[in-house]
Amino acid sequence: MAFLIGPMQHHIEGHKEITEANEIIKIGTDEVAISLSIGAHIATPTVQVGDRVKIGDLIGKRDDRFYVPIFSSVSGEVVAIEKRMSASLKPSDHVIIKKDDTDEFKDFEKLSLDASKEEIIAYMKTIGLLGQGGAGFPSYIKYATDKCETLIINAVECEPYITADVRNIEEHLDEFKYGVMLMLKASNASKCFVAMKSFHKETIEKLIKLFEDEEKIVVKPVKDVYPMGWERTLTYEVLKKRYDKLPIEAGAIVSNATSAITLGSTALSGRYCYERIVTVSGDNINNPHNVICRIGTPISKLIEACGGVKEDRAIIIMGGPMMGTCVTKDIVTITPISNAVNIFKEQHFKEYACLRCGRCVEHCPSSLMPVSIIEAYKFNDIAELEKLHVSDCVECGMCTFICPSKIEVTESIRRAKKLLAARKR
């Protein structure tokens, strides 16, 4: 099939070695600004200025289509609720909490491995477990199905520079195992694959050892290509099955490894996961490292802890350099789904005319036709955009990466998607 479609993937230089072996720096803060906007979720505050909160106290929730709770990552006093720029580039409500030194917890219940499928799903909802790979889809909705045959734990981390997931797994092997077992039970699947890029040889060995008693759980090394971590590409790699909208159509649930650790750690300790590991990397940071910080820490603290920038003019990307969003303020704070802050030098590429070579078509993981989409967009041809399935684009950035003429293909397609969405409304 690849003969007629194309590889639909490509190796991208990972640059993971610059952070992978480094120690994890712990970053303290005396104040956090917890964003009430996480990915597509926009929550409303449930606390008021002056309230005292503990770690794990509910401070906001989304309650319309989904229920998504947001918890405090520090104990202290709510000093303000104000609009700030969030990682989604829109001003959104942030709950600003001044941290005290008590670190008091509001405990959740622990969860044993004997829990039933329903209990685990309810627990996921209570602790507000999200897909921590970047999309932030609530896990309790994903697992509410009885069609799942295969659970895929996604530890692929296909974006360049990011090593947060693999470091998190290495640091929290027991929590990871516990989380995977709970997810396996919640999914009711007969088989579970833990997918990780094959070059992480040592980690894969540790994982094989970790799961050696579990018959259902198989460690699956995958190729070092992008976007292997996208659930569609990963499902095809593992099961050789394609689906229309959701992996469950192929009988699969795909969950991020960090989500499994969050679930495992909360279930074991009964405490909210108030910290997360974030990769601070890129070609414009002095000491690239993985850092561990409270949810709500501004990225300025992370950049400072990693020795600041090399060149003054800097591009800051929240998330991976392929799919992340560029932010223009360093007061943006870490959310549960932030896995990296990447800082780059300004770069210039010489742009040539489009060759119409079709490399973007061959490599598009959604097998779309970026060249034709751009042409249709230029002519405002809505019907053509729909025919070309532009809404199936996940903005993975492959077309821009692969383009030999260095055209900003992905950006044009983003605009085409917006145009189509606006016209449909």
Partner 1 sequence: MEFIYKTTPMPRRPLTTSKIMLRLLAGLLVVYAYALYQAYTFGSEYLINGILLLVVAEVVSYACEAVYALMTKQNILEIFKTSFPYITPLILVLTVPVNTSLYVIGVGTFLAVVFGKLVFGGFGQNIFNPAAVGRAIIATSFAGVVALDAITSPTLTTTLANAGWVSDSASFYYMLKDFGGLGSVLTGDYFAAMGETNTLLILVVGVLLSIFDVIDFRIPLTYLGVMFLGATVIALVSGLGIDYPITFISTGGAAFGAVFMLTDPVTNPQTRPGKIVFSALAALFTIAIRFLGNLPEGVIFSILLVNMISPVINRIFANKQVDSIKRNIIITFATIIVSILILVIIGTSVEKGTYKENTFKKFDPNAETGLAADDYSSCKAKVTDLGDGKYHVTVRGFHAIEDGGPDNEFDIVVKDGKVVSVECTVFSDTKGIGDAAISEDALSELVGVDLSSEVDTMSGCTYTSRSVVAAIQAALKEAR
Binding site for partner 1 (CB under 8 A): 1, 3-6, 10, 12-13, 160, 242, 303, 308-309, 312-317, 321-330, 342, 344, 346-347, 349-350, 352-358, 361-362, 366-369, 371-372, 387-389, 392, 397-398, 400-406, 408, 410-411, 414
Dihedral pair phi/psi, residue 191, rounded to 5°: -145, 145
Distance CA 384, CA 373 (A): 8
Q: How far is the CB of 395 from partner 1 (least distance, A)?
A: 8
Q: How far apart are CA 361 and CA 372, in angstroms?
A: 9
What is the DSSP code string of 146-180? S---EEEEE----SSS--HHHHHHHHTHHHHHHHH
Closest distance of CB 14 from partner 1, Å: 10
Nearer to partner 1 by Cβ, of 296 and 397: the residue is 397
Quote the least distance from Cβ 243 to partner 1, whole Å: 10
Longest Cα separation, the chain: 63
Residue 98 or 415: which CB sits closer to partner 1?
Answer: 415
Least distance from C-beta 54 to partner 1, angstroms?
A: 35
The H-or-E segment that residue 304 falls in is helix 299-305
Of 98 and 345, CB closest to partner 1: 345
Query: Which residue in 99, 93, 87, 75 sits closest to 34, CA to CA?
Result: 93
Nearer to partner 1, 5 or 113 (CB): 5
Shortest distance in whole angstroms from residue 151 CB to partner 1: 24
Contacts of 233 (CB under 8 A, 6+ apart): 8, 9, 227, 365
What is d(CA 410, CA 360) in angstroms, rounded to the nearest whole number?
A: 10
Nearer to partner 1, 26 or 329 (CB): 329
Three-state secondary structure along 97-142? EEECCCCCECCCCCCCCCCCHHHHHHHHHHCCCECCCCCCCEHHHH
Min CB(349)–partner 1 separation in Å:
6
Nearer to partner 1, 46 or 287 (CB): 287
Helix pair 173-187, 257-269: axis angle to 10 deg: 100
Amino acid at 258: T
Distance CA 95, CA 100 (A): 15
Q: How far is the CB of 292 from partner 1 (least distance, A)?
A: 23
CB of 338 to partner 1, least distance (A): 15
**Any bridge partners for residue 42, and if so which?**
37
CA atoms within 13 A of residue 91's CA, in its CB half-sphere:
4
Q: How far is the CB of 401 from partner 1 (least distance, A)?
A: 5
Angle, alpha carbons 161-167-169 (nearest 5°): 130
C-beta closer to partner 1: residue 69 or 397: 397
Q: How far is the CB of 318 from partner 1 (least distance, A)?
A: 10
Q: Residue 267, class by beta-carbon neighbours within 10 Å (0-12 exposed, 13-18 middle, 19+ buried)?
A: buried
Nearer to partner 1, 160 or 251 (CB): 160
Cα 265–Cα 268–Cα 273 angle in degrees, nearest 5: 30
Q: Which is nearer to partner 1, 173 or 246 (CB)?
A: 246
Residue 195 or 398: which CB sits closer to partner 1? 398
115 is written with which tokens?
């829990």
Q: Give min distance, CB of 12 to partner 1, in A.
A: 6
Nearer to partner 1, 161 or 176 (CB): 161
Helix (H, G, I), strand (E, B) or coil at 51: coil
Give, in order, the Cα–Cα distances in Å from 193 to each of 14, 108, 243, 284: 23, 29, 18, 36
